[in-house]
Chains A and B, each alone.
Chain A
Amino acid sequence: MAAATHPFVFMGCVELRQALDRHASDERELMDRLEEVPAGSIFYHTHGYFLRHRPLTTAYGNDFARWAAVEVRDQTLAERLAVVDPFECADLESLRQELVTIVHDHLRGLAAVPRAEPTGTFHFQQSHIVTVELGPRATTLAEFRDGLAGVDASAIYVHMVEARARLGRPSGDFAEWMRASLGLTALAERIERIDSFMTNLERVRARVLGLVDHALDTPSG
């Protein structure tokens, strides 16, 4: 089995949340705040949703859609926000613009601005991701497989979400390492195509493991 030119280092993370002094009590305030909050807050409430979301609860895709559905009870806006796939946006500013446009267009068709319950104010936050090296480093695909199977789920977030969306590594770390260090281009492309939207980190882990297992069983693939 081929050894990598550089070992793969699994990194887990802890999300340290920071409250911003920005709040929205109704949908117009949501739109106004969306325009002015730091890009890190847009990231926290969209991409970060996948780090926090558990399969136990209803999936809304992002915190804004959840707020519209649960606190404002505006299912139409919730649905329109929920389908925004943050992974399809070129950058956080494009994502911000898409969210603002959706709320703006929605409000244009309404006579009154829908408001949240008094206890349901939306509080904007951002996060600081503290990364931690985990487990032994992998130098072969088999070692990578073993490492991935046992590593904390936050590592999937670091390598598949954070790397692509915020750290300027659009292929994600798994695919990039397989292509650059193992020369496994076909496997790298398959991993790149994994849809991280509207799922959870464990499912993404299972899909990567499935593809790696297949590659290990059929070395030519």
Chain B
Amino acid sequence: MIRLDDYRHVAPPGVVDIILRLTERLRGRRVLHLSGGRFGEGAAEMLSTTVPLLNDLGLDTRWEITGGDAAFYATTSALRAVLEGTERVLADDALAHYAEMNRINAKKLRLDADVIAIHDVEPAPLIAHRGDGRWVWRCHFDASRGQSRVWSFFGQIINQYDAAVFSLPEFGRRLSVPQYVIHPAIDPLSEKNRELSPRDITTILGALRVGQDKALLLQVGAFSPANDPLGVVNAYRLVKKHYDVRLVLAGTAGGDRESLDVLADLRQAAHHDPDVVVLELPPEAHRQINALQRGATIVLQKSVQAGFPLSAAEAMWKGKPVISGVGAGLSQQVINDVTGYVVHSVEGAAFRIRHLLNNPELIARMGAAGREHVRRGFLVTRHLLESVALLAHLTE
């Protein structure tokens, strides 16, 4: 089991001691986290790291998941998509069923704690069954662009809480409760981010059939238009005229039509060029992603999506310069001209890749700056610190 002390050699000096002191002061407090599932990114990934650490520090911290039938999950999935700005149809009876499933869940769950943290959409209506304790809604996505009609329904639920927490100030909506801001974070000791020996990296890349004989450009992310992998291929082609590089696109494919089209186009590109490698990996391929990021020369994250994807922080933690697209979450991670470059076009990405390949000393310098930036701002220790501070603020 990983303990807080294990983070001393990676976290900024003093942070672990502040967490210890603060949790000592809060010992005996009971915290309950409720989310829609135990797997995946966002809430589940963060809770699977922080809940055992908080218990180890003496805070009585439980993590429960809510249940539901297929119709419930179809509604919550559509509701979340709408809140993120996608057009979907949400019928009144589906929303009524959503509330009803939460009423049933409320009977099964023990909702007594000093702080009850409800994550994302599925368990949000549980607030209707609140007892004592302070209730916090933790939103892990960008809710700023959702349909007003749906937000007026959902906002009424959130306004019953004592507070909301968003990953960025611009991800929130007009609410009558205080909105706190806590960035998401990466776990430097997880399988996705922990150190790997050069031999391990070579072995894993060999198994993936990715050679290390030339400079490696890498983008990690779902094969969807939001991540613009085709734009990355076009940038690579512009670079390839001048440099013998290899491009690896690693990720998962969604089942929607657009993502399948993107994947088909990528496979076609790879078919015609052996230096374009498309790796369709399962979501649990953390060690492979770790090795790819460590083996890369330059990492791209040419997303045009909202939200707070942490793949840039993961790559920077491994000492890689990152060329990113424009997005609020990415802009927090990539400091233009310091830890990488923020680009607005395929041409901009190609130009910056060539610039870095022409100036290899910049690759090392930006990589080191990126690692320090992540150490200060995007490690789980900082996330833990702010979460515990919120607990202190709400209960003292």
- Seen from chain A, the residues whose Cβ lies within 8 Å of a Cβ on chain B are 12, 14-19, 21, 54, 56-57, 119, 121, 123, 125, 128, 130, 132-135, 151-154
C-alpha spacing A12/B392, complex, angstroms: 14
Given A130-B393, A134-B18, 20 extra CB contacts under 8 A: A12-B14, A14-B22, A16-B386, A17-B181, A18-B178, A18-B179, A19-B169, A19-B172, A54-B372, A56-B372, A57-B338, A119-B326, A119-B328, A121-B170, A123-B169, A123-B170, A130-B22, A132-B18, A152-B14, A153-B14
A201 to chain B, nearest CB (A): 11
* Cβ-neighbour of A152 out of B13, B174, B328, B335 (below 8 A): B13
Query: What would 17 A/B residue contacts be, using CB atoms closer than 8 Å?
Result: A12-B18, A14-B385, A16-B390, A18-B179, A54-B372, A56-B335, A56-B339, A56-B373, A57-B338, A119-B328, A121-B170, A130-B389, A130-B392, A132-B21, A133-B21, A134-B14, A134-B18
B331 within 8 A of A: yes
Contact flag A18-B392 (CB < 8 Å), given A119-B331, A134-B18: no
Q: Which 4 A-B pairs have the closest CB atoms?
A: A152-B14, A19-B169, A123-B169, A14-B389
C-alpha spacing A154/B181, complex, angstroms: 19
Is A125 touching B335 in the complex (CB atoms < 8 A)?
no
Is B390 touching A152 in the complex (CB atoms < 8 A)?
no
B366 to chain A, nearest CB (A): 11
Contact flag A21-B386 (CB < 8 Å), given A56-B372, A119-B331, A152-B13: no
- Seen from chain B, the residues whose Cβ lies within 8 Å of a Cβ on chain A are 13-15, 17-18, 21-22, 25, 166, 169-170, 172, 174-175, 178-182, 326-328, 331, 335, 338-339, 369, 372-373, 376, 385-386, 388-390, 392-393
* Cβ-neighbour of A151 out of B14, B372, B389, B390 (below 8 A): B14
Q: What B residues does A130 contact at CB under 8 A?
A: 22, 389, 392-393
Q: What B residues does A132 contact at CB under 8 A?
A: 18, 21-22, 25
Q: What A residues does B174 contact at CB under 8 A?
A: 21
Q: What B residues does A16 contact at CB under 8 A?
A: 180, 386, 389-390, 393
- Residue in B closest to A70 when the chains form the complex, CB atoms: B336
Is B178 touching A134 in the complex (CB atoms < 8 A)?
no
Is B393 touching A128 in the complex (CB atoms < 8 A)?
yes
Is A56 touching B180 in the complex (CB atoms < 8 A)?
no
- Residue in A closest to B390 when the chains form the complex, CB atoms: A16
* Cβ-neighbour of B15 out of A57, A123, A135, A152 (below 8 A): A152
B395 to chain A, nearest CB (A): 11
C-alpha spacing A15/B382, complex, angstroms: 11
C-alpha spacing A193/B134, complex, angstroms: 44
Is A54 touching B17 in the complex (CB atoms < 8 A)?
no
C-alpha spacing A123/B180, complex, angstroms: 13
C-alpha spacing A119/B336, complex, angstroms: 15
A79 to chain B, nearest CB (A): 19
Q: What A residues does B388 contact at CB under 8 A?
A: 14
Is A17 touching B170 in the complex (CB atoms < 8 A)?
no
Q: What A residues does B17 contact at CB under 8 A?
A: 12, 134-135, 152
B201 to chain A, nearest CB (A): 27
- Residue in A closest to B331 when the chains form the complex, CB atoms: A119
C-alpha spacing A132/B339, complex, angstroms: 32
Is B338 touching A56 in the complex (CB atoms < 8 A)?
yes
Q: What B residues does A19 contact at CB under 8 A?
A: 166, 169, 172, 179-181
Is B18 touching A154 in the complex (CB atoms < 8 A)?
yes
- Residue in B closest to A135 when the chains form the complex, CB atoms: B17
C-alpha spacing A128/B165, complex, angstroms: 14
Contact flag A154-B14 (CB < 8 Å), given A125-B181, A128-B393, A130-B392: yes
Is B13 touching A18 in the complex (CB atoms < 8 A)?
no
C-alpha spacing A134/B25, complex, angstroms: 12
Q: What B residues does A125 contact at CB under 8 A?
A: 169, 181
A77 to chain B, nearest CB (A): 20
Q: What B residues does A119 contact at CB under 8 A?
A: 326-328, 331
C-alpha spacing A15/B385, complex, angstroms: 9
B185 to chain A, nearest CB (A): 14
Q: What A residues does B179 contact at CB under 8 A?
A: 18-19, 21
A21 to chain B, nearest CB (A): 6
C-alpha spacing A31/B53, complex, angstroms: 44
Contact flag A54-B373 (CB < 8 Å), given A16-B393, A17-B180: yes
Is A56 touching B326 in the complex (CB atoms < 8 A)?
no
A123 to chain B, nearest CB (A): 4
- Residue in A closest to B339 when the chains form the complex, CB atoms: A56
Is B180 touching A18 in the complex (CB atoms < 8 A)?
yes
Q: What B residues does A152 contact at CB under 8 A?
A: 13-15, 17-18
Q: What A residues does B386 contact at CB under 8 A?
A: 14, 16
- Residue in A closest to B396 when the chains form the complex, CB atoms: A130
C-alpha spacing A133/B22, complex, angstroms: 9
C-alpha spacing A119/B328, complex, angstroms: 7
Is A56 touching B22 in the complex (CB atoms < 8 A)?
no
B390 to chain A, nearest CB (A): 6
A96 to chain B, nearest CB (A): 20
C-alpha spacing A123/B172, complex, angstroms: 11
Contact flag A57-B335 (CB < 8 Å), given A19-B180, A132-B25, A154-B18: yes
Q: What A residues does B389 contact at CB under 8 A?
A: 14-16, 128, 130
C-alpha spacing A17/B390, complex, angstroms: 9
C-alpha spacing A141/B150, complex, angstroms: 62
